[in-house]
Copies of this chain bind each other. A is one copy, B any other.
Amino acid sequence: MSIETAITALNSVLGDRLSRSKSDLALHGQSETHFATTSPDAVLYPQNADEVAQAMRICGEHGCPVIGFGTGTSLEGHTAAIRGGVTIDFREMNAVLELRPEDMLARVQPGLTREELNEELRATGLFFPVDPGANASLGGMASTRASGTTAVRYGTMRDNVLALEIVTAEGKIIRTGTAARKSSAGYDLTALFVGSEGTLGLITELTLKLHGLPEATAAAVCAFPDTPSAVQTVIETIQSGVPMARIEYLDAASIAAVNSYSNRADPEQPHLFVDFHGSPSAVAEQAAAFGELATENGGLGFVWSTDEDEKRALWAARYDAYYAILGSKKGARAVVTDVCVPISTLAEAIEKTQAGIAQSGLVGPILGHVGDGNYHAILLVDPDEEAEREQALALQSRMVTLALELGGTATGEHGVGMGKLDYMEAEHGAAWGLMGQIKRALDPDNIMNPGKLVRQN
């Protein structure tokens, strides 16, 4: 009973799908962020759920860890093979299985990316709105309960996954949920697997909710004298029922980074970037209502447009922000923090975080999905300076502690993986134990992505 015997057994039945090449192992052990490369012992490229189930049964028999893999764009070390084992890469399971425009549903395989799905949807007038930035796989997005800029209007993966097909730790294929929009038929297994990071089972199919492409869209941007006035504008806009499709915050440091990167001259103050979706008259009405509230709160230079080129120009600073920030320190890697707080506490949280970053001496602009209370500091560290990485992780730790004090969460959208494991007990208290009970019940031998999300054995 070992990883090697598991791979030998896998090889004899799924040999065509199995790779042990150095480059494959290295690629699947890498991380987008600051985690050390930790490679699996083999990579499997299954073509259907039966092959996944077969692999799970073999790995279960031999006690071999199994790690699901989409595009490798997760940020908290989710796919690192820290106990070795087999990485199951879903890239060959990337089909759109069924489009049902009348039901506004799509049934897809987990390796399909969100951009590929939206490409397929082009002729239907529908789209899949969840947008975490990266062109991630939909299976991976479900596994980490991803969200992004549009969650304020369209929800997160929690809200947009209707049903799943799962291969369990025992190697059974089960289906959770139905194609009906709602159900009261028992435990919400779909919600349990969404966000479970491959620790309870592997997603082999998703039924996703689609949304109608808006008839019109408008974009707006506004600078603010300080963070509290920007956040207050967002609170008042939400309370007044104006449905923003996206509402993004960049702090003054982010704007400065973009100015330098793109040779712009925007005022180096906090900014809000807003999108509105609806009928032409609705988006005009919404933009005007937002502009009024922004101005009442001291906003300066409010501009909005429905013209394609102008919209792109208005949002340019937001689009460029991540690479502008990364580019502001040569050769830097980023520790991308991710906390989420009740919006009433957001201004306080951001300002305290900015003070901490200033004190540390690190470069760390802040941007946020401000309608959700979710914000990220992009802490830049020299990969050759372990002290900087430690400093960044200490800042992250203070951000999480603050978020929990304010009634928030250690991760708004990136997930737990390895990076947030140390905070789970502080966040969940006794409920953390209950998560462990569920893990032990469904994966008693701890072979599903061990060492992520929960602690066991």
Beta-carbon contact of A438 and B340 below 8 Å:
no
> Which residues of the other chain, B, contact A214 by a CB distance below 8 angstroms?
241
Segment at the interface with B among A168-176, A254-262, A383-391: A168-176
Q: How far is the CA of A315 from the CA of B376 in the complex (A)?
A: 47
**A122 CB to closest chain B CB, in angstroms?**
15
Q: How far is the CA of A168 from the CA of B214 in the complex (A)?
A: 45
By beta carbon, the residue of chain B nearest A340 is B180
> Which residues of the other chain, B, contact A434 by a CB distance below 8 angstroms?
168, 174, 189, 442
By beta carbon, the residue of chain B nearest A424 is B186
Beta-carbon contact of B344 and A103 below 8 Å:
yes
> Which residues of the other chain, B, contact A174 by a CB distance below 8 angstroms?
428-431, 434
Any B CB within 8 A of the CB of A20: no
Beta-carbon contact of A427 and B187 below 8 Å:
no
Given contact pairs A212-B241, A340-B180, A185 touches B411 in the complex (Cβ within 8 A): yes
Beta-carbon contact of B374 and A182 below 8 Å:
yes
Beta-carbon contact of A182 and B239 below 8 Å:
no
* A170-208 contact mask (Cβ, 8 Å, vs B): 1 or 0: 001111101111111111110110111000100000000
Beta-carbon contact of A103 and B343 below 8 Å:
yes
Beta-carbon contact of A212 and B183 below 8 Å:
no
Question: Quick one: which of A354-397 are within 8 Å of B by CB?
Answer: 371-374
Beta-carbon contact of B189 and A409 below 8 Å:
no
Q: How far is the CA of A188 from the CA of B192 in the complex (A)?
A: 6
Q: How far is the CA of A239 from the CA of B22 in the complex (A)?
A: 49
Any B CB within 8 A of the CB of A228: no
Beta-carbon contact of B441 and A373 below 8 Å:
no
By beta carbon, the residue of chain B nearest A162 is B342
> Which residues of the other chain, B, contact A146 by a CB distance below 8 angstroms?
184
Given contact pairs A178-B427, A279-B285, A441-B441, A184 touches B241 in the complex (Cβ within 8 A): no
Beta-carbon contact of B344 and A100 below 8 Å:
yes
**A216 CB to closest chain B CB, in angstroms?**
10
By beta carbon, the residue of chain B nearest A413 is B184
* A336-347 contact mask (Cβ, 8 Å, vs B): 1 or 0: 000011111000
Any B CB within 8 A of the CB of A414: yes
**A420 CB to closest chain B CB, in angstroms?**
7
Beta-carbon contact of A411 and B103 below 8 Å:
no
Q: How far is the CA of A416 from the CA of B185 in the complex (A)?
A: 6
Beta-carbon contact of B179 and A407 below 8 Å:
yes
Any B CB within 8 A of the CB of A457: no
By beta carbon, the residue of chain B nearest A421 is B186
Given contact pairs A182-B372, A416-B186, A192 touches B192 in the complex (Cβ within 8 A): yes
Q: How far is the CA of A28 from the CA of B196 in the complex (A)?
A: 38
> Which residues of the other chain, B, contact A192 by a CB distance below 8 angstroms?
187-188, 191-192, 438
Beta-carbon contact of A453 and B180 below 8 Å:
no
Any B CB within 8 A of the CB of A14: no
Beta-carbon contact of B373 and A431 below 8 Å:
no
Beta-carbon contact of B145 and A435 below 8 Å:
no
Beta-carbon contact of A186 and B435 below 8 Å:
yes
> Which residues of the other chain, B, contact A409 by a CB distance below 8 angstroms?
178, 180, 182-185
With beta carbons under 8 angstroms apart, the residue of B156, B178, B191 that contacts A182 is B156
Any B CB within 8 A of the CB of A437: yes
**A204 CB to closest chain B CB, in angstroms?**
13
Any B CB within 8 A of the CB of A300: no
> Which residues of the other chain, B, contact A374 by a CB distance below 8 angstroms?
180-182
> Which residues of the other chain, B, contact A103 by a CB distance below 8 angstroms?
342-344
**A17 CB to closest chain B CB, in angstroms?**
24
**A145 CB to closest chain B CB, in angstroms?**
4
Q: How far is the CA of A147 from the CA of B195 in the complex (A)?
A: 24
Other A-B contacts than A156-B182, A183-B409, A187-B435, 18 sampled, CB-CB below 8 A, are A102-B342, A102-B344, A105-B342, A158-B182, A174-B431, A175-B430, A178-B408, A179-B407, A180-B341, A180-B408, A181-B343, A182-B412, A185-B409, A185-B411, A188-B191, A189-B431, A282-B282, A438-B442
> Could you name 15 residue pairs across A and B whose Cβ atoms are closer than 8 Å?
A102-B343, A156-B182, A181-B373, A181-B374, A184-B411, A185-B424, A186-B435, A186-B454, A188-B191, A188-B194, A212-B241, A214-B241, A215-B240, A279-B285, A441-B441
